[in-house]
């Protein structure tokens, strides 16, 4: 951060930017890692670290999608079932229709984009609150996934190489000591791309501006509706990527899965320091938030903590993480 000493009297301490919070969340992550490493020798094994990363990949991608929407001041409850819907679309394209792999991938991303366009339009044009529009969309997609798939999983056995999308390791092929699964690399790629869009493109700039003061953006002559729809469409496309990821990991499109995933995604976003009231947030924070969730889950399992307590701990950490963020802002 650049020099922030304003000429006007800044009596209450030096200003610290979002960097500190990212550090806070980051130090939370470090703290968890340290605790778990000390508690179990198995925790820091390469394989377990890779397992944690792989476990982060799907939720991480969904959380990146949710980040975009939340920065505009909206919310997207449909990310989980949209992911499933896209997976099913891929299944239809590859297995039912027998088309080549790239078309399946494209199909999932297009399907996600199309659904995002619809949600965005309902929100921007019909002025239905995001909570309701995406809640309704969540249910619609859940039903449609079952309808389209005929309520049974669609397997990708006829598409050799499909499982390699998430489970293979291009990195491992080059550096055998570092077999990072492709799924993880895809998460990083999506995150990098989203971070680039947020910080370097007009879409990103409007995403922040909408969350900061939508009316001011409108009165600046900007076509607010169009950009809002674009944000939901982008988030939808990212959910399409998540759909491919989960389908590849499970070698199947599981039509019944997905509901409930939205809460994990939103939790990752919020733990990562993105404000639910919009206008601020970072993809890096979201990644850290998603990692905190997976590290917690993995660590508590490695320590064989009873499952019922895992939930309690997770709930508590979510509240504490947000409270820490609030405290920080108040004391600044």
Partner 1 sequence: MTTPLVEMLDIDKSFPGVRALSRACFELLPGEVHALMGENGAGKSTLMKILSGVYTRDGGTVKLDGKPVEITSPRQALDAGISIIHQELALMRDLTVAQNIFIGREPRRFGILDEAALNRDARAIFAQMNLKLEPTVRVETLTIAKQQMVEIAKALSYRSRVLIMDEPTAALNDAEIAELFAIINQLKSEGVGIVYISHKMDEIKRISDRVTVMRDGEYVGTVPAADTPIDTIISMMVGRTLSNETAAITDTSRNPVALEVRNLRRGRDIRDVSFELRRGEILGFAGLMGAGRTEVARAIFGADRREGGEIWVGGKRVGISSPQDAVAAGIGYLSEDRKLFGLATGLDVRNNIALASLARFTRAAGVLDDAGMHQAAEKYIRQLSIKTPSDTQEARLLSGGNQQKVVIAKWLLRDCDILIFDEPTRGIDVGAKSEIYRLLNQLAADGKAIIVISSELPEILRLSHRIAVMCEGRLTGILPGGASQEEIMRLATLREPAMEVRHAG
Partner 2 sequence: QENYDIALISKGFQHQFWQAVKAGADQAAAELGVTVTFEGPESESQVDRQMDMLAAALSRGPDAIGFAALDSQAATPLLQQANDAGIPIIAFDSGVESDIPLTTATTDNVAAAALAADKMAELIGEEGKVAVVAHDQTSRTGIDRVDGFVNRIEEAYPNIEVVTVQYGGGDQLQSTEITKSILLANPDLKGIFGANEGSAIGVANGKQELGSEVVVIGFDSGAAQKGMVESGLMAGAITQNPVGIGYETVKAAVAALNGEELPEVIDTGFYYYDASNMTDPEIAAVLYD
The residues binding a second copy (CB under 8 A) are: 1, 3-5, 122, 126-129, 131-133, 135-144, 146-147, 151, 215, 259-260, 263, 266-267, 270, 276-277, 306-316, 318-319, 322-323, 326, 330
**Cα–Cα distance between 91 and 85 in angstroms, integer?**
10
Q: Which residue is nearest to ligand ATP (CB)?
A: 8
Q: Provide the 3-class DSSP secondary structure of residue 154.
A: strand
Per-residue CA distances from 307 to 42, 49, 198, 251 (Å): 19, 21, 37, 27
C-alpha dihedral (240, 321, 199, 236), degrees to nearest 10 = 20
Contact 282, 197 (CB under 8 A): no
Residue 326 binds which one of partner 1, a second copy, ligand ATP, none, with CB within 5 to 8 A depending on kind?
a second copy
Please count the CA atoms within 13 angstroms of the CA of 53 that sit on its side-chain side: 21
Stretch of 24-32, 109-117, 270-278, 290-298 contacting partner 2, by CB under 8 A: 290-298
Residue 156 tokens read as 């990708």
Q: Considering the rule CB under 8 A, would residue 298 count as an interface residue with partner 2?
A: yes
Beta bridge mates, 253: 154
**Cα–Cα distance between 142 and 251 in angstroms, integer?**
20
Q: Considering the rule CB under 8 A, would residue 163 count as an interface residue with partner 2?
A: yes
Element containing residue 252 per DSSP (H, E): strand 252-253
Binding string, 270-309, against partner 1, x = CB under 8 A?
Answer: ---------xx-----------------------------
Tell which positions 203-222 bind partner 1, by CB under 8 A: 203-206, 208-209, 211-213, 215-222
With respect to partner 2, which residue has the nearer C-beta, 136 or 172?
172
With respect to ligand ATP, which residue has the nearer C-beta, 11 or 47?
11
Tell which positions 6-25 bind ligand ATP, by CB under 6 A: 6-8
* Nearest CA among 83, 97, 61, 90 for reference residue 162: 90
Please count the CA atoms within 13 angstroms of the CA of 36 that sit on its side-chain side: 26
Q: Considering the rule CB under 6 A, would residue 330 count as an interface residue with ligand ATP?
A: no
Shortest separation between residue 227's beta carbon and partner 1, angstroms: 10
Contact 276, 120 (CB under 8 A): no
**Cα–Cα distance between 140 and 134 in angstroms, integer?**
9
Of the candidate residues 201, 256, 263, 329, the single one contacting partner 1 (CB under 8 A): 201
Tell which positions 8-27 bind partner 1, by CB under 8 A: 8-12, 15
Q: Considering the rule CB under 8 A, would residue 186 count as an interface residue with partner 2?
A: no
Shortest separation between residue 191's beta carbon and a second copy, angstroms: 22
Q: Provide the 3-class DSSP secondary structure of residue 127.
A: coil
List of residues contacting partner 1 (CB under 8 A): 2-12, 15, 197, 200-206, 208-209, 211-213, 215-223, 279-280
């Amino acid at each position: 951060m650049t020099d922030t000493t304003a000429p006007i009297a800044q009596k209450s301490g030096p200003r610290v930017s979002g960097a500190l919070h990212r550090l806070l969340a980051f130090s939370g992550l470090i703290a968890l890692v340290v605790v778990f490493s000390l508690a179990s020798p198995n925790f820091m094994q390469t394989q377990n670290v890779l397992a944690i990363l792989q476990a982060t990949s799907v939720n991480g991608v969904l959380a990146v999608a949710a980040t975009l929407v939340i920065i505009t001041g909206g919310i997207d409850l449909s990310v989980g079932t949209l992911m499933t819907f896209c997976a099913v679309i891929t299944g239809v394209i590859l297995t039912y229709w027998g088309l080549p792999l790239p078309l399946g991938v494209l199909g999932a991303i297009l399907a996600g984009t199309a659904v995002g366009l619809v949600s965005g339009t309902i929100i921007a044009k019909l002025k239905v609150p995001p909570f309701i529009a995406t809640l309704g969309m969540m249910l619609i997609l859940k039903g449609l996934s079952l309808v389209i798939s005929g309520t049974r999983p669609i397997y990708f056995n006829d598409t050799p190489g499909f499982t390699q999308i998430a489970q293979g390791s291009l990195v491992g092929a080059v550096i055998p000591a570092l077999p990072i699964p492709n799924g993880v690399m895809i998460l990083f790629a999506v995150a990098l791309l989203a971070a680039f869009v947020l910080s370097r493109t007009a879409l990103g700039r409007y995403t922040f501006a909408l969350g900061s003061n939508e009316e001011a953006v409108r009165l600046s002559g900007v076509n607010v509706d169009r950009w809002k729809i674009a944000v939901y469409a982008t988030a939808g496309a990212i959910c399409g990527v998540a759909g491919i990821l989960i389908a590849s990991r499970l070698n199947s499109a599981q039509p019944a899965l997905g509901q409930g995933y939205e809460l994990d995604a939103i939790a990752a976003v919020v733990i990562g320091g993105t404000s639910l009231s919009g206008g601020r947030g970072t993809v890096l924070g979201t990644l850290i938030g998603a990692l905190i969730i997976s590290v917690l889950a993995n660590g508590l399992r490695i320590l064989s903590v009873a499952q019922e307590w895992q939930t309690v701990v997770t709930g508590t950490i979510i509240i504490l993480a947000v409270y820490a963020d609030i405290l920080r802002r108040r004391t600044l």
